[in-house]
Structure 1
Amino acid sequence: MAALSLKRLTLQAIKSEKSCIRCFGKHIVQKTAPAQSTPIASAPRFSFLVHAKAFSTTEDTQNEGKSKKKNGTAFSNTGRKISQRIIHVFDEKGNDLGNMHRADVIKLMEKQELRLVQRNASAEPAEYQLMTGVQIHQERLRLRDMGKANPKTGPTLTKELTFSSNIGQNDLDTKTKHIQQWIKKQHQVRITIKKGKNVDESENKGEDIFHQILQTMPGIATFSSRPQAVHGGKALMCVLRPLSEKEEKAYKETQELQERDTLNKEHGNDKESNTLHQQF
């Protein structure tokens, strides 16, 4: 009897243990199953792959654009990589050789030990010239010197300013200072002056204001567009621009001549007064 009771207790313990394990395992499955069924784990991977591909495509496109721009503007040896089948060729002395097949051009290059440089890609067919290495080097130096002599500048910005002809002197002085700052930064300034409602106002008051503003910047600015009526005659508009280097040089020379004339006149008057003083 004792052995039988012990056996029953053992069987019940085993069943209880299996039941607990089964319940625990079911609990784990219930906890983990929703996480596996949701697409959250795969979504970032898909998004990441798409993003990486797009980024790579953009970068390749930019690099390709830069490469094309560089190849299109740089003065360099084309070599055997001639994209066109028929091209217009000039020899190293500038003589016109006419249209030639690229295979014949390559043979001519190898035979005469010359290099091929693109002259005009927009022509039909494209124009190329055979040159020596020394000629290419000299042309690069010439282009570099031209670039230093004529540096590229960005597009000219145009500032706009509108006010009434009834403007007070203090406000006009403030606006004039703004115009001077813009001119010194090499900007153009479009000024529009609306006619005031004052009946006694002079017809030339707008033009007088323009000239008053311009007189505050001698040797710095001038009219790009002289005063003219706009908005059906209800306003006047002009455009001021900075002087070019040539205009600044001419202005300085004119000022120097005027100063010399003034000094000469003063010295001449002094000599005449001294002579008169000695006579008396």
Structure 2
Amino acid sequence: MAAVLKRLLLQTIRTENNCIGRCFDKHIRQKTVPVQLFLVAYAPRLPYLMHTKSFSTVEDTQDERKKKKKSDTTFSNVGRKIGERIIRVLDEKGNDLGNMHRADAIRLMEERDLRLVRRNSSTEPPEYQLMTGTQIHQERLRLRDTEKAKLKPGPTVTKELTFSSNIKQHDLDTKSKQIQQWIEKKYQVQITIKKGKNVDEPENKMEEIFNQIVQTMPGIATFLSRPQPVKGGKALMCVIRHLTKKEEKAYGDLQETQKRDILNKENGNDKESNVLHQ
């Protein structure tokens, strides 16, 4: 009987140990598995190093404007790289050849052995000109000088010159040449002419001298201030300046118009003479 009780007691102890072991093992699995899953599922990954360009419409627009501005200010031969289908073409003398297809412009450029330069891209169609290499070089120099003049505007220099109305023609010619040299340098020239001692001198002689000086420089100089009395009426003074770009163009247009009128008159006279002979 005692042996049977002892055996039951040992069996009970083993059963309890097994239950405790199972419970403990289950508890350990519940604690460790989620941790392992967490480590596996949420382990940080190293990102791939990729170079990407930041997207910005403002920066892109500024870059495009800079490129466009650079291309517009660059004066050079475009060759065959004409983006527009129809363009307006000027020849090497500035004559308007009208609108033409870019293929025709390229063919004309090759036939005349010239370069094609963009003159104005803001017009419709854009304006191009056929030019020689020498013309392109000279135009670049002119544009460079213009830009320098804009960047460094200097004060206007005024030269002064005084002489008598009894001046001899030879001396007047010499002074006129000196005045022209100053005017070509964009100086202003203040001229004062004193009345001569000759009583028989015409009243308008001094004004005639001023006009004669200006007439020696057609298309170059004009009056900044007309002759006016100074020194109590004993002298006349005026200021002469260089023509502006607009005035130079107007003078050139006037000369062309006058030449055209003369040619038309000559052609008309020739036609009339031919009719008379017939």
Which of 1 and 2 has greater Rg? 2
